[in-house]
Structure 1
Amino acid sequence: MKSLLTIIWLFGSLSAMAQLDTIPVSRDYKTILVLPAPYDFSINGKELNFIESFPAKIGSGTVRNIALLIYNDVAPDITDFTNYTIYTRDGLAYDFILKLVDIPSKKRWTITTAMADNLDELSKKRGNHEIDKSNVSRQLDMEQTEVPTETFQEKLSVKTGETEGEPLPLTRELYVLDRMEYIRRRCYYNQFNKGKIIRYLSKFDNVFLWLENVYYENDEIYLQFRLENKEHIDYDVNFIKFSIATKYKNSSSNIKKAQKPLFRYKVPKKVEGNSENYFMVVFDKFTLDRQKVLTVELDEEKGNRNLSLDIDHSVINNPLGFKS
């Protein structure tokens, strides 16, 4: 009898784990993910089918911990699956499978720190190889204390010390240990900086692409942008490309060469009507001569409100430094 109870308990545990790893998403209901820390970014195997969105406004710190999932109503699939990894700003990653269903059995999922797939890796980076998961969870939960936040429309100010604690601060040691993590955190702290570059923009009717700032640090160039949509219809981003081109485009010697970013931070897939989105793009260090420009091409999906912005050598070659 005891053995039978043990088998039943084990089977139930495995079933719960399988259910937890698979998140049902439907066309008619939004699935709500409540994260243990503020959302940072995600990797979605079929982002055009399983659509990710967020609450329209930020009224409290808790709202930044919420992601919403719904299945694309126009997608023809009857059955569909994909991988979905979501990262929070404390560096933890959570892996799931998204599954298309008619009606989800559960519409709100509370994600806990103990469910992170890289919990052990994070504890090792902290230099403590013997700490167990429960202790890491309690420590991370303590570090995630936040202050009240404003709306994006009020240009949320995010600075060191004003939000959740930093398990990995911006140090030279972090840069050497994990360059991409350092760059990601640098973008996080400076994404909403007030623009110092005056009226550097491209526009199509009431859609604007602004270059807010250009920074330089550790042999990397950081470009801070703001995509503003003052029209009622949403702006869906197909792609954003960068290239170095001759300043005089009609010249017979005009040559355009793709410039591949090192890192993209929160480049939007959609900017809703009457809203704006801040994002950053990072490149390995480069400079321009007087005859060259960095061209930014922003293409609208299923639309013609395409934007093109030429950034002059004087802007690229004279970047700002970050405030410590």
Structure 2
Amino acid sequence: MKNIHLILFTAFVLLTTVDLKAQGISKGAPQSIPASLLKISDQMTTNLIFPHAIKSVDRGNRNILVQKANAVENILQVKAEKSELPNSNLTVITEDGSFYSFALEYQEVPQNLNLKIQQAGNSDLADFGNQIQAESELEETARKVATKNRSMPAIRQRRFLTGIALTGIYIEKDLLYFQLRLENQTNIPYDIEQFRLFILDNRQSKRSASQELEQSPLLVYGDAARIPAESTQTLVVVLPKFTIPDQKHLKIELMEENGGRHLKIKVKNRHLMNAMQVD
């Protein structure tokens, strides 16, 4: 009987020790978040449908082409630039703070082209802190920027007596404010079909559209739907702070609905570096 009690006691001590050690490891060591395997092709586009709007995308290398689908914020389109794709990865963070990681491999004909991504668990949330201001604060700051005089040599394009010009870049609380002047010197109103901002390579491949990384404004202050006849107006676009990598630029584009007066300008990293504080 004593031997049985001794064995039971010893087993209890061992189990307790293992449990305590496991708790110590889980508290002190970083937890690994596994990456999901994603196979992509250079001939077919893979669509990733997220439960929330996409806030940030990071590619493992430049052989991976990504863009957000037009007119929606939660669909990411992914493609390989060429068939000789080294294994790489893709990281996506959505506006609710969810973190998604994908390990990428090349496959000529992927079996799954449209994937609905499940909501990330609470342990996979990124912390954005309190950097994003309330919309009322953004509007008040944007209003101030809209009334300022030009603070930089304008980056502009004019076509068919219409034009777009970037006349100021400002920063406040980790947010960039772009001051844009839109003009229409004709008697024909300019209805805006698309107003887009995206980062792309200076030197593009034949499938250049696939290399666009769209920037989603937190706020557009002003009328981004129409430039009335014989008018000039100001837009202020608010984006989370960013810089532009080497050999890339920010493209700001206006597309006219049912027309051909399309306008676009290029913004380089050196322009961002001269961003002014909002007084």
TM-score between the two structures when normalised by the length of structure 1: 0.43
Larger strand proportion, structure 1 or 2? 2
Structure showing greater Rg: 2
**Structure with the larger RCO, 1 or 2 (CA within 8 Å, 6+ apart):** 2
